[in-house]
């Protein structure tokens, strides 16, 4: 509120001691304390009255609704933050955790029992091809990174024509 440092307070105290005198100084400080207490009570009452008026006008509910609508969870930013955290911790050279699933041989014939195998639609097939392409890119990138780590020059692929 006021920008008064300890040196300024010391100067004010010395001047008050000289002007008012040591006999009346304690009484003046007592009156000053009562005055500041009364000011604080009035400020508290005023603040309470303003809060009551805001509560009656519905400002608090509107502010709460605005906070809820703009919260990180409501906007989905917490999921983005979690994904970013996982991405930052990801190491492409480290194998994925968890049990490795055996990859089916693409050259192997389909199972004899067609009832046990689920029907694969075009969207599922496209997704599987997309995942296989991603896996190939990740394997290639991993090989390149390992080669760089070992100090070798990575093998360059011929550009597709």
Looking up tokens 């609508």 gives 69
* Residue 109 falls inside a structural domain: no
Calpha distance 121→141 (Å, rounded): 30
* Residue 159 falls inside a structural domain: no
Query: How far is C-alpha 64 from the chain's CA centre?
Result: 20
Calpha distance 30→91 (Å, rounded): 69
pTM for this model (two decimals): 0.33
Looking up tokens 């500041």 gives 36
Average pLDDT over residues 60-64: 80
Q: How many domains does the chain have?
A: 2
* Residue 44 falls inside a structural domain: yes
Average pLDDT over residues 86-112: 65
Asked if the model's pLDDT at residue 121 lies above 80, the reply is no
Average pLDDT over residues 32-46: 95
**For residue 13, what pLDDT is reported?**
86
Residue 48's domain comprises 6-57
Q: Which of 35-44, 66-75, 148-157 has the highest mean pLDDT?
A: 35-44
**For residue 151, what pLDDT is reported?**
78
Which residue has better confidence, 39 or 16? Answer: 39
* Residue 94 falls inside a structural domain: no
């Amino acid at each position: 509120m006021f920008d008064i440092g300890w040196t300024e307070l010391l100067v004010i105290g010395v001047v008050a001691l000289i002007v008012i005198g040591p006999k009346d100084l304690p009484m003046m400080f007592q009156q000053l304390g009562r005055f500041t207490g009364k000011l604080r009570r009035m400020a508290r009452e005023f603040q309470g009255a303003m809060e009551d008026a805001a509560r009656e006008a519905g400002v608090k509910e509107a502010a709460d609704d605005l906070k809820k609508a703009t919260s990180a969870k409501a906007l989905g930013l917490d999921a983005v933050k979690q994904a970013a955290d996982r991405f930052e911790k990801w190491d492409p050279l480290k194998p994925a955790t968890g049990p490795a699933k055996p990859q089916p041989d693409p050259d192997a014939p389909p199972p004899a029992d067609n009832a046990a195998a689920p029907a694969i639609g075009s969207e599922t097939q496209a997704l599987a091809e997309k995942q296989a392409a991603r896996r190939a890119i990740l394997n290639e990138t991993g090989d390149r990174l390992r080669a760089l780590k070992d100090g070798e020059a990575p093998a360059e692929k011929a550009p597709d024509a």
